[in-house]
């Protein structure tokens, strides 16, 4: 009789433990950090900067004289370095919120 009571208590305890773990896992899966207003503004500014670089590059490539001057001055190298830095900063901010 004692073995039956112990077995029943064990099964009861295990079922509640596993149910509690499932509830905990589902709650943590939906939890996300909120991005701050400063970080939102930085993301917006960085995305505008990337758009501006793309627009300027398209304009430079459409004008042969400007293309020659930009190549001589290393504009494309600087623009690519700037893009890499901005994308890295965007990635850092986005990873903070995950």
Check residue 56 and report its DSSP letter.
H
Residue 80: what pLDDT?
Answer: 95
How confident is the model over 3-20, as pLDDT tens digits? 666 656 666 666 666 566
Residue 74: what pLDDT?
Answer: 95
At residue 57, does pLDDT exceed 80?
yes
């Amino acid at each position: 009789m004692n073995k039956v009571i112990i077995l029943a208590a064990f099964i009861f305890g295990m079922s509640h433990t596993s149910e509690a773990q499932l509830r905990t896992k589902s709650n943590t899966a939906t939890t996300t950090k909120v991005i701050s207003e400063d970080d939102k503004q930085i993301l917006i500014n960085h995305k505008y900067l990337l758009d501006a670089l793309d627009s300027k590059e398209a304009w430079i490539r459409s004008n042969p004289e400007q293309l020659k001057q930009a190549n001589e001055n290393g504009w494309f190298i600087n623009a690519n370095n700037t893009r890499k830095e901005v994308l890295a900063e965007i990635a850092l901010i986005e990873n903070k919120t995950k």
